[in-house]
Amino acid sequence: MQRSRVYLDAGGSAPLSPRVSDALRAGFADGWADPARLVTESRKARGLLDGSREAIADVMGVSAEQVHFTPSIHVAFERAIAGIARARRAQSRIIVSAIERDALMNAAAFALPQGIETIAVNSQGHLDIEAFAAAVSADGVALAAIQHANQEIGTVQRLDRIASSAAAAGVPLLIDASSSIGHRDTPQQWDALIAHPADWGGPAGLGVLALKPGTRWLPAWPEGDDWAPGGISVPLALASAVALQEREQERREVSGRMGALVERIRATVRQLSGIDVLGDPYERLPHIVTFSCLYVDGESLVAELDREGFAVGSGSACASGTLEPSRVLASIGALTHGNVRVALHPGVTSDDVDRFLAVLPQVLDRVRSRLGSPSSD
Amino acid sequence: MQRSRVYLDAGGSAPLSPRVSDALRAGFADGWADPARLVTESRKARGLLDGSREAIADVMGVSAEQVHFTPSIHVAFERAIAGIARARRAQSRIIVSAIERDALMNAAAFALPQGIETIAVNSQGHLDIEAFAAAVSADGVALAAIQHANQEIGTVQRLDRIASSAAAAGVPLLIDASSSIGHRDTPQQWDALIAHPADWGGPAGLGVLALKPGTRWLPAWPEGDDWAPGGISVPLALASAVALQEREQERREVSGRMGALVERIRATVRQLSGIDVLGDPYERLPHIVTFSCLYVDGESLVAELDREGFAVGSGSACASGTLEPSRVLASIGALTHGNVRVALHPGVTSDDVDRFLAVLPQVLDRVRSRLGSPSSD
């Protein structure tokens, strides 16, 4: 009998819940018109869009006027960094951690060429807060951009001191919350904040940018564009709002359940030989765990687990079907090859995890023996 | 009895057909995963995305490798113009017609500041081809960008001579086909071509950029981005492909029917006093007609017709609910206020149009009498 597949690659993507699917259907039925026009159909679309913005703002604890949709988190990073940097043209540097997303690093390199100053993290992925405080208070800093939680190893940063250092230095702080909103409380001290609907159970194809009142920026893009050049899909926005509300209502229960499943994975995997479990075991996202396996490559592990019915992630996947070594793992001093990321979504059951943990050692042995390496026990 | 509403504002947006809605449902069920990852779910999403690209390429008469999705036509204009201009940095000018879209003009002004050379159009909206040929063959031209058809007045340009002038001068030609694909044959002579799925019956939130092999461009954006920073929604792409296939299969029949309805509108409206029907009556999009009405403002007309159950467009709608004078209408020497654009979608019936034509004179009279102006007969 073919058992159903188990999707454990949920950071930034997951199957849609029935409520989110219903919201999409309603959004395409009632929100297909261009929200920028004058007629009834457009007013209806505009109402759905405004309501979606309000619902997301409400969960995030900000006002609706502060929330902007973008076509992706890439566009949010690009425009937020370029816009803030342009308003602070006398300053030419950006302070980031060593484990920021590629999309953020590339946006920073484009807006502030030769101006990136990277602050190290420790072996659990926590930012060197003293080094950050020193860097941000030096002259010539246009902005700082720090993630709330890491999408690969799950470590959650201690943002309070980071935010107060930036505020004391008068440097705008961008928080990348694209892996945390929907899983943790929204951070409250920032000037710009970026979130990712597909990470909280919404459909792919949308980003969210929040800006605190008083955050200065200047357009670094063609006239007529706001944060979303040409607008965004109203049904995607509506479904994203419904997904966040659903996630928020169930967050305590889901986080507890996911956290316990991840703890079970961490404890079991730690027993296997030649495996390092990465990231902070306590200050972490509830649903993510990554481990590095000696004597294997991540691509083979992902492929072999996929054949067994388990979807997991590894390193930085790219469209060509090959993997690049993870900059995040290199920054915490971990093995950059042979890593597996397990990211749970609310539909994953205890039984799914047990089956995964039963299959994993066999798969590891198989891959290792193909490469002539020691077995896992 | 409340009669059902009639949507006559279909340029760039329309209610989705049952087949397109089905495609969306299938796309969200099977294409929710990130197409850039390695697992089965992602391969499935990638397959849908590749298939969508192939289907669109097939209708457009190009190969799938030439077709790229973008989050909007704005992003397509911005990246195509900036990318081509960057590859031709020794040249600093762009040749455009006087009636290009705002999104194209803004993208051009951003990529080539002070480098825009505008070629006039005649009273029907046809480009001055001699002036274009002279301008494009002068020194220092980075590219030319000309629309296939105008989204406000429906006039279709005679592209053959435009394309041969650009080719003779060795200047890359970008064709804005965002109002014509799905309604007319795809032009074949161009270096870059931009199309708009929402204009051919697809969902909003996507653009299409096609590039001929050999078209030179350089990235003018952050590393790691392709034409769609952060990717696009696979279900939107799938539904866009299905919409184009559906439109193409029915195009002869739909165009004939729409063309006859527009002809009926043109003939009837022409009889009313103080009304100018605009654009080329023959070389035109089948589904669009715009007319200018003396002694009224477009906003009142749109609002009054909306109350009567008819959605029409006017001028350049913007989110604040007010209208700006149309640059297109000013360029052809027409009244820029008091204009109404009727854009039909395939679901509009002969009876809908008759009802619209019966209501229009009453609405005109009512708006005019409120302003103390002469009546329509």
Nearest CA in chain B to A73: B230
- A300 and A226 within one domain: no
**Would an 8 Å CB–CB cutoff place A34 in contact with chain B?**
yes
- Per-residue pLDDT, A335: 85
Residue A1 belongs to some domain of the structure: no
Rounded Cα distance between A261 and A281, Å, is 13
Say whether pLDDT at A373 is over 80. no
Nearest C-alpha neighbor of A96 from the set A145, A148, A147: A145
Task: From chain A, pick out residues whose CB is under 8 angstroms from the CB of B342.
Answer: none
Mean pLDDT of chain A: 94
3-class secondary-structure state, position B124: coil
Q: How many Å lie between the alpha carbon of A168 and the closest alpha carbon of chain B? A: 30
Helix H segments across chain A? 18-30, 40-60, 73-87, 102-111, 129-136, 159-169, 234-249, 251-271, 298-307, 327-331, 350-370
3-class secondary-structure state, position A77: helix
- Which one of A36, A41, A229 has the shortest CB-CB distance to B311? A41
Residue A101 belongs to some domain of the structure: yes
Is A311 close to B41, i.e. CB distance below 8 A?
Answer: yes
Q: What are phi and psi of A188, to 5 degrees?
A: -115, -15
- Per-residue pLDDT, B1: 43
Cβ B262 vs Cβ B254: under 8 Å: no
What's the predicted TM-score (pTM) here? 0.96
**Which residues in chain B show pLDDT less than 70?**
1-3, 316-323, 374-377
- B235 and B302 within one domain: no
Rounded Cα distance between A262 and A116, Å, is 35
- Per-residue pLDDT, B324: 76
Task: From chain A, pick out residues whose CB is under 8 angstroms from the CB of B314.
Answer: 38
**The total number of structural domains that make up chain B:** 2
Q: How many residues does chain B have?
A: 377
Residue A16: other Cβ atoms inside 10 A: 22
- Which one of A33, A73, A317 has the shortest CB-CB distance to B13? A33
Region A317-322 average pLDDT: 46
Residue A152 belongs to some domain of the structure: yes
Q: What is chain B's Cα-based Rg?
A: 21
Residue A342 belongs to some domain of the structure: yes
- A259 and A243 within one domain: no
pLDDT, tens digit, for every residue of B274-317? Answer: 999 999 999 999 999 999 999 898 889 999 999 999 999 987 54
Cβ A340 vs Cβ A288: under 8 Å: no
Helix H segments across chain B? 18-30, 40-60, 73-87, 102-111, 129-136, 159-169, 234-249, 251-271, 298-307, 327-331, 350-370
- B254 and B244 within one domain: no
- B158 and B134 within one domain: yes
Region A267-276 average pLDDT: 95
Domain end marker among B193, B214, B248: B248
Q: What angle do CA B348, B353, B354 make, to 5 degrees?
A: 140
Rounded Cα distance between B40 and B46, Å, is 10
- B141 and B90 within one domain: yes
**Would an 8 Å CB–CB cutoff place B342 in contact with chain A?**
no
- A232 and A211 within one domain: yes
- Per-residue pLDDT, A317: 45
3-class secondary-structure state, position A102: helix
Q: How many Å lie between the alpha carbon of B80 and the closest alpha carbon of chain A? A: 13
Rounded Cα distance between B38 and B47, Å, is 12
Residue B164: other Cβ atoms inside 10 A: 13
Q: How confident is the model at residue A322 (pLDDT cuts 50, 70, 90)?
A: low
Residue A300 belongs to some domain of the structure: yes
CATH number at residue B123: 3.40.640.10
- Per-residue pLDDT, B170: 98
- B123 and B24 within one domain: yes
CATH number at residue A263: 3.90.1150.10
- Which residues are bridge partners to A323 per DSSP? A317
Domain end marker among B214, B248, B282: B248
**Would an 8 Å CB–CB cutoff place B153 in contact with chain A?**
no
- A160 and A109 within one domain: yes
B:61-120 residues touching chain A, CB 8 A cutoff: 71-75, 78, 102-103, 106-107, 109-110
- Per-residue pLDDT, A316: 55
Q: How many Å lie between the alpha carbon of B97 and the closest alpha carbon of chain A? A: 19
Share of chain A above pLDDT 90, in %: 90
Rounded Cα distance between B8 and B265, Å, is 12
Is B224 close to A103, i.e. CB distance below 8 A?
Answer: yes
Cβ B238 vs Cβ B20: under 8 Å: no
- B164 and B130 within one domain: yes
Residue A135 belongs to some domain of the structure: yes
Domain end marker among B223, B248, B273: B248
Rounded Cα distance between A370 and B192, Å, is 49
- Six-digit token string for A373: 């390496």
- B236 and B180 within one domain: yes
Residue B89 belongs to some domain of the structure: yes
- Which one of A13, A229, A299 has the shortest CB-CB distance to B75? A229
- A163 and A184 within one domain: yes
Say whether pLDDT at A90 is over 50. yes
Rounded Cα distance between B242 and B238, Å, is 6
Residue-range definition of the domain harbouring residue B177: 18-248
Cβ A184 vs Cβ A154: under 8 Å: no
ipTM: 0.96
Residue B7 belongs to some domain of the structure: no
Residue with tokens 């090959």: A322
Q: For the range A39-43, what are the long-range contacts, defined as Cβ-Cβ under 8 Å and sequence gap of 24 or more? A: A39/B9, A39/B302, A39/B306, A39/B311, A39/B312, A39/B313, A40/B5, A40/B306, A40/B311, A41/B5, A41/B7, A41/B9, A41/B311, A42/B9, A42/B311, A42/B317
pLDDT, tens digit, for every residue of A133-192? Answer: 999 999 999 999 999 999 999 999 999 999 999 999 999 999 999 999 999 999 999 999
- Six-digit token string for B137: 């063959």
- Per-residue pLDDT, B276: 95
Task: From chain B, pick out residues whose CB is under 8 angstroms from the CB of A9.
Answer: 33, 37, 39, 41-42
Nearest CA in chain B to A110: B222
